[in-house]
Chains A and B, each alone.
Chain A
């Protein structure tokens, strides 16, 4: 069974631009969560989607947004990019909205802001 697929793997942007990252969950998984990982802050939760609805949101500014489609694929968007947005963005999928289901991560998108 294919794992979680994230595209693109690497991205270079400049300040002020916007970016859209994509995540395709494991087949049959309907919950998708997004995380930001930086060396200093560790894994920070961004948001979680289930059945096209945002169930949880982390403490990030409104520049960070996401959505989920009917096929469970998800996208996240970051507008007005700042240098501090440089990070590894990880998507994880789980079977359903039960928090006791394990999450499985994709390879991530490494975003660099110049």
Chain B
């Protein structure tokens, strides 16, 4: 089992819809969870950090964390074509302290 798993996609949604991106992790004691957005040819950009169970909202983005089920998700409301990118989930390893990245989910928002 990979330490951090994401569906590679592509996930295609129409403009204005809600995009739901999921990530599962194997380290039960992980305490922090990060979502990065990466446009093609660019570097990853941190868009959300979440540390406790429940939801965290920032504008059109909502991160949801469920530690019991070991998954974290990212919801993008009112999706825009400019949201088309690869979204990377990252979780620090409690053993090594390294930040472990998933393979990323490619999101396509169609006008």
Residues of A within 8 A of B (CB): 33, 42-43, 45, 48, 55-56, 58, 88, 90, 92, 97, 99-100, 102-108
A64 CB to nearest chain B CB (Å): 15
A87 to chain B, nearest CB (A): 13
Given contacts A42-B104, A43-B88, are A99 and B98 in contact (CB under 8 A)? yes
Residues 20 to 51 of chain B near chain A (Cβ within 8 Å):
31-32, 34, 36, 42-46, 49, 51
What's the Cα separation between A103 and B36 when bound, in Å?
Answer: 10
On whether A106 and B43 interact (CB within 8 A), knowing A99-B92, A100-B32, the answer reads yes
B93 at the interface (CB under 8 A from A): yes
Write out the residue numbers on chain A whose beta carbons fall within 8 Å of the beta carbon of B92.
Answer: 99-100
What's the Cα separation between A106 and B69 when bound, in Å? 33
For the complex, would chain A's binding face be called helix, strand, loop or mixed by DSSP majority?
A: strand
Nearest Cβ distance between residue B53 and chain A, in whole angstroms? 15
Question: How many A-B Cβ pairs are below 8 Å?
Answer: 50
B99 touches A99 (CB 8 A): yes
A105–B45 CB distance below 8 A: yes
The answer to whether A45 and B43 touch across the interface, beta carbons within 8 angstroms, is no
B residues within 8 A CB of A100? Answer: 31-32, 51, 92
Measured CB to CB, the residues of B under 8 A from A are 31-32, 34, 36, 42-46, 49, 51, 88, 90, 92-93, 96-101, 103-104
Query: Among the listed A56, A90, A99, which residue makes an inter-chain contact with B43, where contact means beta carbons less than 8 Å apart?
Result: A90
Interface contact B43-A108, CB-CB below 8 Å: yes
A43 adjacent to B101 (CB under 8 Å):
yes
Q: Known contacts A45-B100, A88-B43; can you find 13 more A-B pairs with CB under 8 A?
A: A48-B97, A48-B98, A99-B92, A99-B98, A99-B99, A100-B31, A100-B32, A103-B46, A105-B44, A105-B45, A107-B42, A107-B43, A108-B43
